[in-house]
Amino acid sequence: MKRTWAASVAAAAVVSAGTVLFGAGSASAAACNAPEFKSCVGVSYQTSHVKSIRVNGRCLIGSSGTYSSVHVDDVADAHPDVQTYGGSRCESNTHNSASVRWALTEDDRGYRWVTIS
């Protein structure tokens, strides 16, 4: 009985770990469902001094990647408001110390990328 229980617990742990890894993979590749004339945001960090950014007031934390729930205008002359932070929760004394460059167009998945350097 103990052997069966231990095997069940081990199998559940493997399934849980697989689910967590799958969830992380699918979250980073989430489809963009932005409204018309909007793009989802993609962030590319090219500096280690910035840990988080605000795009139009929304705090984005984590490493380079995509944010399907954050939308910006998809036109080249639109420059969404971006604030950069050395802290990991959109706070620090290094506020707006990095260079920000927006892509002129969205990519084939509907993401408009901002490069932070």
With vertex at residue 86, the alpha carbon angle to CA 94 and CA 43, rounded to the nearest 5 degrees, is 120
State the pTM of this model.
0.72
User: pLDDT tens digits for 19-69?
Assistant: 221 122 234 558 999 999 999 999 999 999 899 999 999 999 989 999 999
Domain ranges of the chain: 1-30, 32-116
